[in-house]
Amino acid sequence: MRTAPSKFRLPAFVVLVFLFSAYPAEAQQPCVHYISSTLHGHAPAASTSAVMAPFTIACNGSFSGNLKSLSRVRLRLQLERLTPGGTWETVDTGYITYSGAPGTYRYSIKNDDARGSDWVMDFRAPSHKK
């Protein structure tokens, strides 16, 4: 006996979501090591500057950061993640409270003002070091 072909098909994204949720990756473990520090520096006029070298995490972790300008210049703290295409994408800005997946990140400071400013930054980020 021959049956008619089914006209019901799941959209591809439903199948992919099921596959990824059914088989979680090892790298999705929570981070257990963190680094925190206070940094001091200067933001030149009309610039975006990386505060520290990019760092890579292989776990799910939380980031935090707070920036204080030491003059009346408005500075903005940014947490950026490196995209697969090699560009930096801003994932959080201002007072940083972000939960991130494995990847490469950096903190940067954006100054849209015509004047430079000294700053103080407190941060906490996942670390691969024990």
Rounded percentage of the chain residues whose pLDDT exceeds 70 = 78
What pLDDT score was predicted for residue 130? 58
pLDDT tens-digit map of 13-59: 333 333 334 434 454 799 999 999 999 999 999 999 999 899 999 99
11 confidence band (pLDDT: 50, 70, 90): very low
110 confidence band (pLDDT: 50, 70, 90): very high
The SS3 assignment for 20 reads helix
Rounded percentage of the chain residues whose pLDDT exceeds 90 = 74
Q: Within 13 A of 20's CA, how many CA atoms are on the CB side?
A: 8
pLDDT mean across residues, the chain: 84
Query: Which H/E stretch holds residue 125?
Result: strand 117-126
